[in-house]
Amino acid sequence: MSLFETAKHLKHGLTRSIDVKNRNVRVIGLMATDLCKSRCRHCFIWNKKEHSHLSVDVIGRLVRDPAVTRKTFFELTGGEFLEHPDWREIIKLVKDAGNDFVVLSNGMYPDELIEAVKELGIPNVYMSLDGLGETYKRVRGVDCSDNILRIVDEIKDLTNIHLGYTITPWNAVEDLEQVKALAEEKGVEMSVGAYQSPEFFDTVKPVGKISPEYEPYLDEFMSLNNTWMDKNLSIPCWNIRTKCYILGNGDVFLCQQKSVVLGNLNEKSFNEIWNSPETIATHEEYAACNDCWLACNRPLDMQLAYAGRLVFSNNRLNKMFGEHDWDLVLDAYRNHNSSPGS
């Protein structure tokens, strides 16, 4: 890795370490609804018996909350975000507040999403694409791959598009290669994650290791997935001090993996919940949690571990944060000449 890349990692690590220390809210996963018409085999939100939509009034108070700043990034998701009856109003609220955001979609409603990008100025769109045609249908129960390709073609010059490929027991490396080729052809970003088992998703199939044939396509984070599964990798859980998830019923979740409720926005303000002694104590309680390797949470932990190891020795870091596998993170970054995340 070049000195320039190393310097970028250090700068990024310093900035995010300040956020962690001060518990600055940098990302809110706004799961505004749990309705979804997909039938994914690796997520069973669609199978929940009771559904809820977070009210526009609650979201309006959230974006004006003192614990939420213009640096807070919103992930507008679900379920399927466009299933929320007031999804347009939610986008306007977040945008008018001056916050950057991404709309996550399964591509079920191409006309609505294309129109929204054009009329509402959505800056970022994330869509899952775990394969094409029959593979997509096998993984997600319905075939929206053609919808996603149409959406990409119609808005790729109007917004930042990111395609997310999830390695599951129901697709293969050939599917990843197809999606990767498509992303390169269309000039859009793509990332590779792996099937995990967050409690809220009610998953049923056990999580397995990533097959070696995927290794050339894994970034530094995913390259350590199997090491983590073998219980040979532990790093602190810092991300929970800068990110949380909010459900359609108003519950503020500690993270996506654990069904730990910090409070409910129908009862208290976000600031009251986030800065309460109980939440602060919960963050301390789970500081050493190592129960997931979710790509939506743990990359920040890895980035900070790497930045810390660039500055301090193993012994010094162990004294500060407890016994962890700092050198494994260091080696992973050195083997993947990549830039720090956002």
**DSSP conformation letters of 139-197:** HHSS--HHHHHHHHHHHTTTSEEEEEEEE-TT--HHHHHHHHHHHHHHT-EEEEEE---
341 has pLDDT over 60: no
User: Phi and psi at residue 264, in whole multiples of 5°?
Assistant: -130, 130
Confidence of residue 34 (pLDDT cuts 50, 70, 90): confident
Whether residue 6 has pLDDT greater than 90: no
pLDDT at 3: 64
**Dihedrals φ, ψ of 33, to 5°?**
-150, 155
Among 186, 175, 98, smallest CA distance to 149 is for 186
* Torsion-angle region of 48 (φ positive above 0: left; ψ -120 to 50: alpha; else: beta): beta
User: Distance between CA 234 and CA 76 in Å, rounded?
Assistant: 30
Q: Which residues contact 316 (CB under 8 A, 6 or more apart)?
A: none
At residue 214, the pLDDT reads: 95
The stretch 18-35 carries a mean pLDDT of 94
CA torsion sign for 249, 252, 255, 260 is negative
Worst-scoring range by mean pLDDT, 12-16, 19-23, 318-322? Answer: 12-16
Give the separation between CA 53 and CA 247, rounded to whole angstroms.
8
Between 7 and 262, the higher pLDDT residue: 262
